[in-house]
Protein backbone atom coordinates (compact mmCIF):
# COMPACT_ATOMS: atom_id res chain seq x y z
CA UNK A 1 0.00 0.00 0.00
CA UNK A 2 1.33 3.43 -0.93
CA UNK A 3 1.78 6.10 1.68
CA UNK A 4 -0.98 8.64 2.11
CA UNK A 5 0.32 12.19 2.02
CA UNK A 6 -2.98 13.90 2.74
CA UNK A 7 -2.10 14.64 6.35
CA UNK A 8 1.27 16.07 5.32
CA UNK A 9 -0.28 18.30 2.68
CA UNK A 10 -3.04 19.39 5.06
CA UNK A 11 -0.45 20.18 7.73
CA UNK A 12 1.59 22.15 5.21
CA UNK A 13 -1.54 24.08 4.17
CA UNK A 14 -2.33 24.84 7.82
CA UNK A 15 1.17 26.25 8.28
CA UNK A 16 0.80 28.28 5.09
CA UNK A 17 -2.56 29.65 6.29
CA UNK A 18 -1.01 30.60 9.65
CA UNK A 19 1.82 32.43 7.88
CA UNK A 20 -0.64 34.25 5.62
CA UNK A 21 -2.74 35.24 8.64
CA UNK A 22 0.40 36.67 10.26
CA UNK A 23 1.13 38.78 7.17
CA UNK A 24 -2.48 40.02 7.02
CA UNK A 25 -2.35 40.89 10.73
CA UNK A 26 0.88 42.85 10.15
CA UNK A 27 -0.81 44.73 7.32
CA UNK A 28 -3.74 45.62 9.58
CA UNK A 29 -1.41 46.65 12.41
CA UNK A 30 0.46 48.99 10.05
CA UNK A 31 -2.64 50.45 8.41
CA UNK A 32 -1.83 53.94 9.68
CA UNK A 33 1.96 53.78 9.21
CA UNK A 34 3.11 56.27 6.55
CA UNK A 35 4.87 54.67 3.59
CA UNK A 36 3.93 51.10 4.53
CA UNK A 37 3.03 48.89 1.57
CA UNK A 38 0.62 46.00 1.81
CA UNK A 39 2.24 42.54 1.73
CA UNK A 40 1.05 39.04 0.89
CA UNK A 41 2.72 35.64 0.50
CA UNK A 42 2.82 33.40 -2.55
CA UNK A 43 -0.14 31.15 -3.25
CA UNK A 44 -0.32 27.64 -1.83
CA UNK A 45 -0.22 26.14 -5.32
CA UNK A 46 3.19 27.77 -5.82
CA UNK A 47 4.33 26.27 -2.51
CA UNK A 48 3.19 22.82 -3.67
CA UNK A 49 4.98 23.29 -7.00
CA UNK A 50 8.27 23.67 -5.13
CA UNK A 51 7.86 20.32 -3.35
CA UNK A 52 8.45 18.40 -6.58
CA UNK A 53 5.81 15.70 -6.09
CA UNK A 54 5.47 13.53 -9.18
CA UNK A 55 2.58 11.36 -10.26
CA UNK A 56 3.39 7.66 -10.37
CA UNK A 57 2.38 5.30 -13.15
CA UNK A 58 1.51 1.70 -12.38
CA UNK A 59 1.08 0.87 -16.06
CA UNK A 60 2.59 2.05 -19.33
CA UNK A 61 -0.96 2.57 -20.58
CA UNK A 62 -1.49 5.46 -18.17
CA UNK A 63 -1.06 8.98 -19.45
CA UNK A 64 2.01 10.82 -18.26
CA UNK A 65 1.65 14.17 -16.59
CA UNK A 66 2.07 16.98 -19.07
CA UNK A 67 2.89 19.51 -16.40
CA UNK A 68 1.90 23.08 -16.85
CA UNK A 69 1.37 24.26 -20.36
CA UNK A 70 2.35 27.69 -21.50
CA UNK A 71 -0.49 30.13 -21.51
CA UNK A 72 -2.34 28.17 -18.83
CA UNK A 73 -0.75 30.12 -15.97
CA UNK A 74 -2.70 33.05 -14.66
CA UNK A 75 -0.76 35.65 -12.77
CA UNK A 76 -2.77 37.71 -10.36
CA UNK A 77 -1.08 40.96 -9.47
CA UNK A 78 -1.69 41.94 -5.88
CA UNK A 79 -2.53 45.61 -6.33
CA UNK A 80 -4.06 47.50 -3.48
CA UNK A 81 -7.34 49.19 -4.09
CA UNK A 82 -6.06 52.59 -3.06
CA UNK A 83 -2.87 54.41 -2.14
CA UNK A 84 -3.18 57.21 0.38
CA UNK A 85 -1.31 60.50 0.35
CA UNK A 86 1.01 59.17 3.05
CA UNK A 87 2.12 56.40 0.68
CA UNK A 88 0.35 53.71 2.71
CA UNK A 89 -1.30 51.09 0.51
CA UNK A 90 -3.12 49.07 3.20
CA UNK A 91 -6.89 48.98 2.77
CA UNK A 92 -8.62 47.57 5.84
CA UNK A 93 -11.57 46.29 3.79
CA UNK A 94 -9.25 44.29 1.55
CA UNK A 95 -7.33 42.89 4.51
CA UNK A 96 -10.55 41.88 6.28
CA UNK A 97 -11.66 40.04 3.13
CA UNK A 98 -8.33 38.20 3.14
CA UNK A 99 -8.77 37.34 6.83
CA UNK A 100 -12.24 35.93 6.12
CA UNK A 101 -10.88 33.89 3.22
CA UNK A 102 -8.13 32.50 5.47
CA UNK A 103 -10.68 31.57 8.14
CA UNK A 104 -12.89 29.73 5.63
CA UNK A 105 -9.90 27.93 4.13
CA UNK A 106 -8.72 26.84 7.57
CA UNK A 107 -12.19 25.52 8.45
CA UNK A 108 -12.34 23.57 5.19
CA UNK A 109 -8.84 22.19 5.73
CA UNK A 110 -9.63 20.96 9.23
CA UNK A 111 -12.96 19.43 8.19
CA UNK A 112 -11.26 17.49 5.37
CA UNK A 113 -8.62 16.25 7.82
CA UNK A 114 -11.30 15.18 10.32
CA UNK A 115 -13.28 13.34 7.63
CA UNK A 116 -10.19 11.52 6.40
CA UNK A 117 -9.21 10.61 9.96
CA UNK A 118 -12.70 9.19 10.61
CA UNK A 119 -12.42 7.18 7.38
CA UNK A 120 -9.08 5.73 8.46
CA UNK A 121 -10.39 4.88 11.93
CA UNK A 122 -13.45 3.15 10.43
CA UNK A 123 -11.27 1.13 8.06
CA UNK A 124 -8.98 0.02 10.90
CA UNK A 125 -11.85 -0.91 13.23
CA UNK A 126 -13.63 -2.81 10.47
In 10 A of CB 90, how many CB atoms? 24
What are the residue boundaries of the structural domains of the chain, listed by start? 1-31+90-126
Whether 104 shows a pLDDT value over 90: the answer reads: yes
In 10 A of CB 77, how many CB atoms? 4
**Predicted model pTM:** 0.70
pLDDT tens profile 29-76:
999 899 888 898 988 888 777 766 565 667 776 655 544 433 333 333
What lies within 8 Å, CB to CB, of 95 at 6+ separation is: 24, 27, 28, 31, 38
Amino acid sequence: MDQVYLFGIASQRSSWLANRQTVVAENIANASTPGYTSKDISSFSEVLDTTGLQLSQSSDMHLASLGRQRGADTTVSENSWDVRHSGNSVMLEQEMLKAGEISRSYALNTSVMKAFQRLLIMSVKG
